[in-house]
């Protein structure tokens, strides 16, 4: 296992086919990031189980990992996105779930953060606008803004052309124009007009 410790993901994935225990390296490299992404999408409680499921699913599917891919990152985010989508489908079936927790159903807010009035208004607007986005556009946005993936990595994660990623983000950008912060301005500092997404 030590022999592949410093090699790239491709080598690690390849080695794990012969020695399954090597797959722990993939876990060690990406678990925290996948967890953080999922926590942003489904909340910290659900993220714990889902992040665990991502690596179990990835281990079982490791033979399908593309041998020409250098990084396992987009592949893992693709699996995470699938699981998060499924989680939301289940969660959204709960009647009036959003009315109980309109913000946390979509984005998780650090409970330790003291949320300002403006930010609360922003959350409501953002949540409403996110719900109006097409599911596929929302998926791309979350990988872009929460997981910080590049266009090419999102394309790889979701199995879609880069041009499609670009057009979906462009559509989202237009839709969320009023909610986007100015450069150098944080979301909590938005003016009242920025909060009017309802």
Partner 1 sequence: MPDHHDPLRHIFDDLVAMPSPTTEQTESARRALSVVIRDEAPGESIHPRLRLGVAVAAVLAFVVAITVVAPWNRSPAEAFLGEVAEAARNITPDEMPQGSYIYFVTEQLVWGGTEGSLGDELVRVDYLIPSTTESWWQDGTVRNETTVGRPTFFDPEDEAFYYDHGLDKSDFVGETRTETLTGIKSRIDPEEWSTIPEQLAVEMRQAAEADPSEEPIDAKMMGVAYRLLNPRVFASPMLRAAVIDVLATLDVDQQRLDGGRVSASLTYDRRYFGTIRLEFVFDGEGYLVERSSTAISGDEEGILSPGTVYEIITQTPPVVVPKAGVRPTLLTGSASGG
Q: Is residue 18 close enough to count as binding partner 1 by CB under 8 A?
A: yes
42 binds partner 1 (CB under 8 A): no
Tell me the C-alpha distance between 2 and 39, whole Å.
31
CA distances from 63 to 18, 20, 58, 59, 197 (A): 11, 11, 9, 8, 45
Check residue 83 for interaction with partner 1 (CB under 8 A).
yes
Candidate residues 4, 10, 11, 24; the one interacting with partner 1 per rule CB under 8 A: 24
Neighbours of 58 (CB within 10 A): 24
At its nearest, how many Å lie between partner 1 and the CB of residue 1? 12
Question: Given candidates 139, 143, 144, 156, which one binds partner 1 under the rule CB under 8 A?
Answer: 144
Is residue 96 within the footprint of partner 1 (CB under 8 A)? yes
Of residues 66, 94, 134, 136, which one binds partner 1 by CB under 8 A? 94
Query: Among residues 1, 3, 5, 17, which is the contact residue for partner 1, using CB under 8 A?
Result: 17
Give the span between the Cα atoms of 110 and 174, in whole angstroms.
28
Q: Does 72 bind partner 1 (CB under 8 A)?
A: no
Q: Which is nearer to partner 1, 72 or 149 (CB)?
A: 149
- Least Cα distance to 36 among 149, 183, 173, 189 occurs for 149
Task: Assess 171 for contact with partner 1 (CB under 8 A).
Answer: no
* Smallest separation, CB 7 to partner 1 (Å): 17
Q: Rg of the chain over CA atoms, in angstroms?
A: 18
93: contact with partner 1 by CB under 8 A: yes
Residue 71, by phi and psi: left (phi above 0), alpha (psi -120 to 50) or beta?
beta
C-alpha–C-alpha distance, residues 151 and 163, integer Å: 9
């Amino acid at each position: 296992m030590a022999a592949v410790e410093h090699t790239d993901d491709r080598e690690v994935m390849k080695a794990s086919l012969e020695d399954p225990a090597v797959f722990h390296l993939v876990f060690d490299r990406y678990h925290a990031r996948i967890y953080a992404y999922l926590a942003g999408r489904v909340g910290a409680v659900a993220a714990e189980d889902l992040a665990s499921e991502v690596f179990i699913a990835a281990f079982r599917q490791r033979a399908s990992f593309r041998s020409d891919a250098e990084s396992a990152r987009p592949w893992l985010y693709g699996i995470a996105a699938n699981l998060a989508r499924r989680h939301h489908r289940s969660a959204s079936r709960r009647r009036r779930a959003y009315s109980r927790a309109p913000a946390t159903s979509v984005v998780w807010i650090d409970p330790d953060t003291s949320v300002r009035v403006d930010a609360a208004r922003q959350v409501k607007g953002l949540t409403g606008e996110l719900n109006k986005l097409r599911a596929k556009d929302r998926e791309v946005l979350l990988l872009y803004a929460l997981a910080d993936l590049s266009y090419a990595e999102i394309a790889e994660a979701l199995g879609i052309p880069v041009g499609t990623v670009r057009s979906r983000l462009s559509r989202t950008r237009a839709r969320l124009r009023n909610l986007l912060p100015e450069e150098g301005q944080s979301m909590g500092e938005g003016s009242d007009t920025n909060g009017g997404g309802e």
